[in-house]
């Protein structure tokens, strides 16, 4: 049974972590009519359980802290997030440098459970909290010529040991088409399980685009630029054969080095059963219309 996403959640709708991790309690809540979050909406499976806080915070891709999955959890304590500022520029009415608080003040905090898929064929189910990117963009005023939104991650060699090595062309940069950025599923997340965002997961604010591979969801953002040109993106620049600009989850387009047709949920052990990968990560009903008429094997 599929649930359509709708914007009717408040912070009071966040289910406590302990309850999330108890399937019987969760399903009892469903039977009683409680709201679990819109992404049960995209996942098309009410039996999905969010991963534990430990899973979510100890298995990460965040190359600014190292290329190992456990490097971010070990190294990210170095990152100072107090006084964090984001520069907003390009084709906007109100360019400037804003604190995170200024950008999200007064906006409705959402609590959303999203399936989150990595290109290496592993997945998690994560309860995010944050605000819609659309609301932030509306606040700064998008000009009529803007077609894309570009993002940039902090580069702090003293705090981010990974950027001392040329693993990527730093700073890490990503981008979305404007209609993707304005879609109501696109979130600027500030926390997990109702708690402030851990450093290793992208504190203090990160992008979450649930129908795309995880590397599109750029962490620890310091710049947002509205532009009329398709922006530079780090992984596409590093290897365009393997990482396209759109990076939508599409089980019919294999990564050149492995199949994308199935995935394994983190937390189930090495012998966890693989599951078929869903088109657009399970959000096909919500987002397929964004790509009408596009050859998704070419625009991958």
Q: What is the pLDDT of residues 153-191, one digit of tens each?
A: 999 999 999 999 999 999 999 999 999 999 999 999 999
- Report pLDDT for 271: 79
What is the CATH code of the structural domain delimited by 11-291? 3.90.420.10
Q: Where are the domains of the chain?
A: 11-291
- Report pLDDT for 176: 99
Note whether 260 and 250 are within 8 A (CB): yes
Other CB atoms within a 10 A radius of the CB of residue 92 amount to: 18
Measure the CA–CA gap between 120 and 213, rounded to whole angstroms.
9
Which regions of the chain are under pLDDT 70? Answer: 1-47
27: which 2 tokens?
């399903």
- Report pLDDT for 112: 95
145: which 2 tokens?
């010529």
Measure the CA–CA gap between 61 and 242, rounded to whole angstroms.
17
Measure the CA–CA gap between 69 and 75, rounded to whole angstroms.
11
Note whether 147 and 40 are within 8 A (CB): no
β partners of residue 112: 128
Instruction: Express each pLDDT in 29-66 by its tens digit.
Output: 333 332 233 333 443 344 578 999 999 999 999 999 99
- Asked whether the whole model's pTM tops 0.75, one would answer yes
171: cis peptide before it, omega within 30°?
yes
Other CB atoms within a 10 A radius of the CB of residue 38 amount to: 24
110-117/122-132 β-pairing: antiparallel
User: How big is the CA angle at 289 (ends 214 and 218), to the nearest 5 degrees?
Assistant: 20
187-192/221-227 β-pairing: unpaired
CA 54 to chain centre: 18
Residues 6 or more apart whose Cβ sits within 8 Å of residue 85: 97, 98, 99, 100, 222
């Amino acid at each position: 049974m599929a649930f359509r996403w709708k914007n009717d959640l408040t912070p009071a709708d966040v289910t406590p972590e302990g309850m999330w991790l108890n399937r019987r309690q969760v399903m009892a809540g469903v039977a009683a009519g409680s709201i679990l979050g819109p992404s049960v909406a995209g996942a098309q499976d009410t039996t999905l359980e969010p991963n534990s806080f430990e899973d979510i915070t100890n298995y990460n891709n965040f190359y600014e802290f190292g290329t190992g999955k456990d490097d971010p959890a070990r190294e990210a304590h170095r990152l100072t997030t107090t006084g964090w500022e984001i520069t907003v520029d390009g084709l906007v009415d109100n360019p400037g440098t804003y604190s995170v608080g200024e950008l999200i003040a007064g906006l409705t905090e959402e609590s959303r459970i999203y399936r989150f898929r990595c290109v290496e064929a592993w997945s998690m189910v994560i309860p995010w909290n944050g605000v819609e990117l659309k609301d932030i963009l509306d606040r700064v005023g998008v000009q009529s010529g803007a077609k894309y939104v570009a993002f940039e991650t902090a580069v702090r060699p003293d705090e981010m040991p990974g950027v001392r090595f040329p693993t990527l062309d730093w700073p890490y940069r990503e981008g979305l088409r404007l209609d993707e950025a304005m879609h109501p599923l696109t979130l600027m997340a500030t926390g997990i399980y109702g708690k402030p965002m851990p450093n290793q997961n992208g504190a203090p604010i990160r992008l979450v685009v649930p129908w795309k591979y995880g590397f599109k969801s750029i962490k620890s953002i310091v710049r947002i630029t509205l532009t009329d040109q398709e922006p530079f993106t780090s992984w596409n620049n590093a290897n365009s054969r393997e990482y396209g600009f759109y990076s939508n989850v599409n089980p019919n387009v294999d990564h050149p080095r492995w199949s994308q047709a199935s995935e394994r949920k983190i937390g189930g052990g090495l012998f966890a059963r693989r599951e078929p990968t869903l088109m657009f990560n399970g959000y096909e009903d919500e987002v397929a219309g964004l790509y009408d008429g596009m050859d998704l094997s070419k625009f991958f």
